[in-house]
Structure 1
């Protein structure tokens, strides 16, 4: 597990393609991801990069006139507290911010680090994660179910 932490910690995220990131996540167990997440600085770096990429991997044509605020609560463990990010889709643009705003989200997702990384890397089906109760969804469940069509996600049709 120390090798996994070293391997992830040594990555230059700017040079890792979404496909390479997906392959990396696919090779990790939930336990290994939890080990990586225990390093608070590394966890923040990984989460920040994933959310930064959401803006770049957004597919405005697929979103059309969609307007929505999505709140992502990634639960922590041990010394790492829950972190919150928000994704706003409006006027064909996706913007991301860390932290919780006062605005009411259209959808809120709650999940642990492993489920989150598997979901955003295309290594797990959102429906399966929901059915296994690894992801909790509140709000517009229909929007949540179709959310992947608005982003280029490795391993998903249209990506």
Structure 2
């Protein structure tokens, strides 16, 4: 069995990196969507949501970089280019959203997609003994579970 530069099964690491590339595409689409919500939000909750959306997209852009670097660490190449992201992502672009409730609904739906994928990646990484990816996914899952709770509470 051939090992990659960090001592993991090369074939299994490639499969995991492919899953991470799909996750990267989802993050890039969500990042762009949330940027749009930030720019276009209107209404009485403008100030609060404008700031919240900025917080979210700043967090997403950090995760984009971490995922891409993890893909490189596994010995693969991160996908780049929005045409590739759009074709690979399970998320869709959302355009012309200015209603806060609608924007939060889209974010919550996207988090469900991310949480499901991240749990699957965590399981695969665990089976590979890839502690680096396990740790990353675990951190993302716990943070997004809390964010999901908080956004749902906001909508009540």
* Bigger strand fraction: 1
Higher normalized contact order (CA 8 Å, seq sep 6+, divided by chain length): 2
TM-score computed with the length of structure 1 as normaliser: 0.26
TM-score computed with the length of structure 2 as normaliser: 0.26
* Bigger helix fraction: 2
Q: Which structure has the larger Rg over C-alpha atoms?
A: 2
